[in-house]
Structure formats: structure tokens, C-alpha cells
Structure 1
């Protein structure tokens, strides 16, 4: 239970505060990242049901859904996306890109990436038909699972940082359990088609990890957040493709 509350604390702004945390519990909390994704997905589905009763046009309602997700997560993954894009766009070497990611200011390319990511996400959600609720669940669960993959497969790219504690304590059991729980959740949500979405998310994550290893030599908190945001888009796009099948 403590690890779940830690995961909730790390991934959301839901008021959970655990004062004393053992170092090994930090990585172990990643077992419950997919469960936190499920909670976020259920909240989005419930709010979508409420918004549908208000008579709002679909685009407005879906914009509010995306806004709610941003609020619930404290926009931490979006911040990571912007910083990562700024680093790639800088054209610097590894150390230079890591310094760019440390900069608290968002550059032009980072800002554009945020705008595009949000517009694409809203547009994709608005394009969903009967599979909207499964899509919201899959989006939230598999994007958190992608974070677990990044922590498991990549070393830490910096000397110190918050994400180092996750990577330092990560092990095969955490990775396997998080993967199996993700598969179980999404299979219940959308049956066999969910497995195909899982494969597409896994393939995309693998490509991202190869790129990050080549460019940075590993992962940072920002790059993990960027993978999560982009994985949400990939999942939504995959559901739309499979929805009519």
C-alpha cells in the first residue's frame, strides 16, 4: 500500500504525503505506476460522462479532459517533453543538451512541441467513437508503463537527480510485475485489440530508448516524461486505427 501511495505522490498532485521513505521503496513504487494510470483513466472516463450531460460540443469537452489530466499530473511530463525537445533542437553535444534540459526556461521549439502535443491529443480523443473509454484507460496505463521501461532499460544520464533513485533501485521483478499488470488492465478494458496497442506502444518506446541511449547515454527525468507524453499520442492513434477493425 505504501508503494502505491508513493506512486500516486510521484505521478499526481493528489494530496498524499509520505514523510519517511526508504530508498528501495522509491523504485518499488513503479510496480504501481500502471495502477495509477488506471486511476487517472477512470477519473477521465467519469468526467467525460459528466461532461456529456452538459451538452458541450465534443471538442470543448475533450479539451477539458486533456486539461484535467494536465492538472492531475501537475504537467510534469509536459515539462519533460518541452525540455527534451529544446535539448534535441539545440544541436549541442551530450553535455550541452543536458545543460539545456536543466534550464528552467522553455525555448521556442519546446513551446511548439507542447502546443502540438496538446492539439494532437485533443484531436485524437475527439476522433474516437465507441472505444473512447478504453482508449482513455489504455492511454493512461501504457504511458506510465513506458516510464517503467525507460527506467529499466536505460542508465541514468546525469551524475545526480531525482530519477536516479528510480533507476538505481529498478530490478527485473519490478519491470515484469508492472508489465503484467499493464497487460491485465488493458486486456480487461479492450480485450484482444488492447494487446495490439500494447505492441505498438512497446515498439515506439523501444525506438525512443535507442534514440536516448545514442544521444544522451541514458535517461533523465525529463526524457522519461517526454516518452510518457508521446506514448499517450501513439496509444490514441493506435486505438483509432483499430477501432474500425
Structure 2
């Protein structure tokens, strides 16, 4: 557990945690704990958005600052993964050829559009949330994003490469950990929309469904998951969860 927690924190945050043992056993624990790390990040991001709103900042400024803080706290790795994955899928190539495109340091037009849409959607959604609602929605959405990673690493999902993060975590998360993580995130999402207790869990389900379709398509095209695909799953699930949470 200690090694898995350290790996979860070093993988999903910028916290200067001393590295522990890194193997598939620790990876299984880390991916299972990912939703809790995401919820913690959400509390920080949502709290910042709420404080900016209370200080008189315009809604879009508060939302954009929240998205920027989320990127800072995660080194922007998930956004980079989204851009690379969409570039690989948009190339209409498969297997090694698509993976080679994803390894390039530049971002193509598909990746740019994906980043712009995700960032605008998240910032605009957070812009309309204040106080307690901002905190609860961010906890639910960012928790959903990391829960999507756990589902992407479930048993039976292969790695596209023999090395890298995908090879370390692919197929490591079992059913009990997935069930527990899903129940906890859905429960945390219940109070995110006052007067509509069903809407929070619906947002979690929408985020997981969207990221699941993306990962399924990526596995078909690339042969498995990579670290970039996991990053893309985070951003897609987070964006869709926020979208559903602000629907009225």
C-alpha cells in the first residue's frame, strides 16, 4: 500500500513524494487509488475557483484559473496525452505507425483542436459554479477522470508497447477495486448538484462511458493502451462529467 500510494501521487500529481518500489503490484494499488487522488486534486481546484469567485473575479477568469491550476498540479501530462492520442487516431494509421506519430514532440491540428475544446469546456463549466458547488463538482469531475484510468487498466486490457507506463499498469486493476472506486466517486458526486441527487452519478457514468469508448477505439487502433491513452481518458472523462454537472 505505501509503495502504491507513492506511485499514485508521483504519477498523478507534482507532489515531491519519495519514490518507492515500482512494479506491477505497486501499479495495481496506484491505479486503484487514482480516484482518491483525483478527488483530492478536485478539492484544491474547486476551492481555488470558489475563492476567486468570492473575491469578485469574473466567472470565466475563475474557471480558466482553475483549469490552469489543475494542469500545473499534474504537469500537464494528461493534456499532452490527449493531444498525442487524438493525433494518433486522427492519422488514420494503426499499430506501430500510429504509435510513432504519438511519440513526436510536436502537436498536430487534431491534437490542437482537442486541447482547445477540452480546456474551453472545462473552464466554461467551472465558470458557472460558485462556493460549495464548485468544490463538489470539481471533486466529482476530477475523481471521475482518474476513475477512468482505473477502468482503462482493468484486467484484460493490453498494453500497446512492451515498455513504458502502459506496460506497467495495463491489466492490473481487478473488479473489487473498480467497484469500490466507482461507488465512492458516484457517492461523492451525489451532492454536487443541489436538488438533483441523480445528476452527479449520471455525470460520473457519462464520463466513464465516453472515456471507455475512447480507450476501446485506441486499443483497436494501437493494439493496447499507452500512457498517452490514459491521459486522454482522464481529460475526456473529466470534461464530460463537468458538462453533465452544469446542465440545468
TM (norm. structure 2) is: 0.88
Residues 238 and 183 (structure 1), Cα distance of their counterparts in 2 relative to 1, 3 Å cut: same
The answer for the alignment partner of 2:152 in structure 1 is 150
The answer for the alignment partner of 2:211 in structure 1 is 205
Number of matched pairs: 242
Distance in 1 (alpha carbons) for counterparts of 2:92 and 2:64: 33
Deviation of residue 185 (structure 1)?
2.7
The answer for the alignment partner of 1:164 in structure 2 is 167
Deviation of residue 198 (structure 1)?
2.3
Distance in 1 (alpha carbons) for counterparts of 2:204 and 2:141: 10
| More moved, 160-169 vs 28-37 | 160-169
RMSD over equivalenced CA pairs, Å: 2.1
Deviation of residue 205 (structure 1)?
2.8
Distance in 1 (alpha carbons) for counterparts of 2:173 and 2:238: 23
Residues 231 and 68 (structure 1), Cα distance of their counterparts in 2 relative to 1, 3 Å cut: same
The answer for the alignment partner of 1:135 in structure 2 is 137
Deviation of residue 210 (structure 1)?
2.7
Distance in 1 (alpha carbons) for counterparts of 2:188 and 2:18: 26
Q: Residues 53 and 130 of structure 2 are in contact (CA less than 8 Å); yes or no, is this contact kept in structure 1?
A: no
What pairs up with 1:116-127 in 2 under 5 angstroms?
Answer: 116-127=117-128
The answer for the alignment partner of 1:94 in structure 2 is 95
Q: Secondary structure at the match of 2:158?
A: coil
Deviation by residue 1:58-92 (Cα, 9 ceiling, x = unmatched): 11111111100000011010000110111122222
Distance in 2 (alpha carbons) for counterparts of 1:124 and 1:184: 21
Deviation of residue 18 (structure 1)?
2.0
The answer for the alignment partner of 1:187 in structure 2 is 190
The answer for the alignment partner of 2:16 in structure 1 is 15
The answer for the alignment partner of 1:109 in structure 2 is 110
1:215 to 217, 221, 229: 221
1:178 to 173, 177, 181: 181
Unmatched runs of 5 consecutive residues or more in structure 2: none
| More moved, 179-188 vs 135-144 | 179-188
TM (norm. structure 1) is: 0.89
1:227 to 220, 224, 233: 233
Distance in 1 (alpha carbons) for counterparts of 2:31 and 2:129: 29
Unmatched runs of 5 consecutive residues or more in structure 1: none
Structure (1/2) with the larger helix percentage: 1
Q: Secondary structure at the match of 2:47?
A: helix
Residues 189 and 60 (structure 1), Cα distance of their counterparts in 2 relative to 1, 3 Å cut: closer
